[in-house]
Amino acid sequence: VAPAVLVEVALPLPLFRTFTYRHDGSLPSPGTRVLVPFRTGKRIGWVVGRGDAAGLDEVRPVLEVLEGEPSVPPCLLELADWMAGYYVTPLGVVLRSLLPAPLSDASRAPPVRTRKVVRLLPPVPDLARREVLFARAPRQRECLERLEAVEEGRELRVLLEEDRFARSVVSGLEEKGLVEVVEVELLRDPFQGRGAPGPPPRFSLTPAQSGATAALLSALDEEASLPFLLHGVTGSGKTQVYIELLREVVEARGRGAIVLVPEIALTPQTVRRFRAWFGDGVAVLHSALSEGERYDEWRRLRSGEKRIAVGARSALFAPLEDVGAIVVDEEHDGSYKQSEAPRYHARDLAVLRARREGAVCVLGSATPSLESWRNTALGKFRLLSLPERATGAPLPSVEVVDLRAPRTGTGADGPRPLPAPSGPPPVLSPRLVEAVEERLRREEQAILLLNRRGYASFVQCRACGEVLQCPHCSVSLTYHRRRSRLLCHHCRHEEGAPERCPRCGEVELAYRGLGTEQVERVVAERFPTARIARMDVDTTGGKWAHAEILGRVERREVDLLLGTQMIAKGLDFPGVTLVGVINADVGLHLPDFRASERTFQLLSQVAGRAGRERRKGEVIVQTRVPEHYSIQAALRHDFPGFARRELAEREEPRYPPHVRLANVVVSSPDPELAAAGAEGAARWLRPRLGGDVEMVGPAPCPIERLHRRWRWHLFLRASSAGALGRVLAELVRMHRLPPGDVRLVVDRDPVALL
């Protein structure tokens, strides 16, 4: 009998502790998955080290060691440990989020696909022997000879269906010991049938690209290199700089590389460029892949078969063991923050992982986050600039249309004079109409952005003023005209569109707050011959829907592409020479300290889609606040100017990047309990704050109720991450919430405060 060892196991449960089990055999390496009994069921957990039975009455046995090689390599286990501490999340919950879903769910076997293959077993019988063996089985002989003609064995299904052998023929050969039937793992290819990538482009690097590349390559030989911020204007050719770095890291040095992109469905062109250079060496961790496909890509990385991982935020956890480069494209993008536990920021973790594994880290953007920008000023990051477009095209000219001025325009009801500055602004100002018409005439393309989906963002009774609200959230319901439904964009509640006001019975209802669905209607009426495509959450439900719409635009089958922020990211269409922003103010007035920054980023990014090749681009921005500095800076393509102003705005009251922030949200279905829970947490915190850590609040959240839960929050801010972390850890582990359904969630370095 093998001597028993004690193993400490992390389980994916909301508990801040690990569990001790007994195992008959040697201690599995840390990071190995094990199946263990827990309460009355079974769970998959991860070995984190040797256990200690002191003080335990009963130690239950490990039921099964699930793998010979740990699914979590040591570098990722260390990263997980750091995340558990920093984001105040149990280690097992962090580990679960690092792996493909099937690996941590005991109720499902990982979806490995196999096929049966028939192979010859040596020695192959000589002719004389064949005469004897197959005297009464000529089909067996034919089958054997068929197998001799192929190299690696033949799939059983093919032998039966195409070669028309009966199963009993194969069984006969098996009984004679001449062949074996084995299960071979089949890895799915997510790009099957999606077309091969084209050849890599042939151009020489611009001087700015060469300079940036040289700096990155020389950092590869440094002992510990600082992260780089690659600030390149839209169209400056950042992608090619990443590719040059990867050619050295992966092809010349044989190391691995990770490339993060904000939302992979929206960046098919970027992915295609990597595949053009590195072909099948690229594992694409795409959200449209099935769980099984994603799991297969993960295994190809784990086995070293592929050495480049391209994907959205969780690709940062690619199980590569010798990472030489980590790239975060569009590093300012909010989608790098995960909104559920662990609430990590993939950009920050990229910096950390790169440092720990000796990789070069590049964060790229035309509109860097203020956090990264400030880090260059503090000497923590090194700044590389690509100030001009790679194709030599100038940046587009940006022009503002003031929606407050009384003017005529095309509204939802066709052309009409607008009465007063306070009336609803036209969807398309005459200036924008004229610019679109010009594009249609010249057979160029235009992009129209409105960052709000649906038809109307609220429905209001014309008699009593009632606004229809979600029954579960304190937000208005959005009217979707085609489906004739009212939808909550937060909890997905939906109901039929009302005939009359539910409060006073009035039949006259006003549909206010312009959304993309309405823009589509207005545009289709105004430009009846134009080919229009709309891209927003409502039109991109299908698996490859994004790619299909973008493909049509690329093939010039679309004249006008309209949509939400989805169309602002990373697209490179030479035919687009006009970008119109229908209303730049959507999002500008939200009660969130990042509202101005997001507006600037969105305007700059969408503007960057125009005129990327020979023809000069033009951008028209419709707004009611033309003097706002976000809009003014976007108009001048002036990121440094914007950053200077915005950093000053965040001095008083102090907000990131000047301070570290945590948002603590207490919620409950009972409004009193939510308030009491928040007050209680605040009372508990107050004596523990100490010098550097301050508290603001508690107060109701800007969205007071979500998913049937009432929400209160408080901020903790500090100049050092360490002090803040200590207070948060104590709060989560030691503070007792009032009894009942009350939850406390800590969001460190939050990107959204609603």
Q: How far is the CB of 448 from Zn ion (least distance, A)?
A: 28
Interface residue with ligand ADP among 71, 234, 451, 478 (CB under 6 A) is: 234
- β-partners of residue 57 are none
- Judged by beta carbon, residue 110 or residue 574, the one nearer ligand ADP is 574
Report the distance separating Cα 717 and Cα 700, nearest Å: 18
The helix/strand/coil state of 297 is: helix
Q: How far is the CB of 700 from Zn ion (least distance, A)?
A: 17
Residues 6+ apart with CB under 8 A from 677: 666, 667, 668, 712, 737, 738, 742, 744
Q: Where are the beta strands (DSSP E) in 566-628?
A: 576-581, 618-623
Interface residue with Zn ion among 470, 558, 602, 606 (CB under 5 A) is: 470
Using rule CB under 6 A, residue 605 touches ligand ADP: no
- Judged by beta carbon, residue 29 or residue 391, the one nearer ligand ADP is 391
Residue among 344, 320, 325, 200 nearest 253 (CA):
325
Q: How far is the CB of 352 from ligand ADP (least distance, A)?
A: 24
- State the binding partner of 493 from Zn ion, ligand ADP, none, CB within 5 to 8 A by kind: Zn ion
Using rule CB under 5 A, residue 176 touches Zn ion: no
Q: Where are the beta strands (DSSP E) in 624-659?
A: none
Interface residue with ligand ADP among 240, 410, 478, 604 (CB under 6 A) is: 240
Using rule CB under 6 A, residue 367 touches ligand ADP: no
Q: Give the x-and-dash track for 478-507 against Zn ion (CB under 5 A).
A: ----------x-xx-x--------------
Q: How far is the CB of 185 from ligand ADP (least distance, A)?
A: 37
Using rule CB under 6 A, residue 206 touches ligand ADP: yes
CB neighbour class for 57 (10 Å; exposed up to 12, middle 13-18, buried from 19): exposed
- Judged by beta carbon, residue 291 or residue 495, the one nearer Zn ion is 495
- State the binding partner of 488 from Zn ion, ligand ADP, none, CB within 5 to 8 A by kind: Zn ion
CB neighbour class for 257 (10 Å; exposed up to 12, middle 13-18, buried from 19): buried
Q: How far is the CB of 393 from ligand ADP (least distance, A)?
A: 9
Alpha helices by DSSP H, listed for 427-577, are 430-442, 516-526, 545-554
The alpha carbon dihedral of 220, 221, 224, 229 has a sign of: negative
Using rule CB under 6 A, residue 214 touches ligand ADP: no
Using rule CB under 6 A, residue 742 touches ligand ADP: no
Cα→Cα distances 742→15, 359, 673, 752, Å: 16, 42, 7, 22
Interface residue with ligand ADP among 33, 96, 154, 238 (CB under 6 A) is: 238
User: Within 10 Å of residue 216's Cβ, how many Cβ atoms?
Assistant: 25
- Judged by beta carbon, residue 407 or residue 493, the one nearer Zn ion is 493
Element holding 232 (H helix, E strand) = strand 228-232
Interface residue with ligand ADP among 31, 235, 311, 656 (CB under 6 A) is: 235
- State the binding partner of 232 from Zn ion, ligand ADP, none, CB within 5 to 8 A by kind: ligand ADP
| Window contacting Zn ion (CB under 5 A); options: 58-66, 141-149, 466-474, 558-566 | 466-474
Report the distance separating Cα 560 and Cα 578, nearest Å: 10
For residue 144 the two structure tokens come to 């054997």
Using rule CB under 6 A, residue 390 touches ligand ADP: yes
Using rule CB under 5 A, residue 473 touches Zn ion: yes
Residues 6+ apart with CB under 8 A from 378: none
Let me know: does 238 contact 230? Beta carbons within 8 Å. yes
Using rule CB under 6 A, residue 391 touches ligand ADP: yes
Cα→Cα distances 440→66, 457, 582, 683, Å: 61, 30, 18, 63
- State the binding partner of 473 from ligand ADP, Zn ion, none, CB within 5 to 8 A by kind: Zn ion
- Judged by beta carbon, residue 71 or residue 239, the one nearer ligand ADP is 239
Binding residues vs Zn ion (CB under 5 A): 470, 472-473, 488, 490-491, 493
Binding residues vs ligand ADP (CB under 6 A): 201, 203, 205-206, 209, 232, 234-240, 390-391, 572, 612
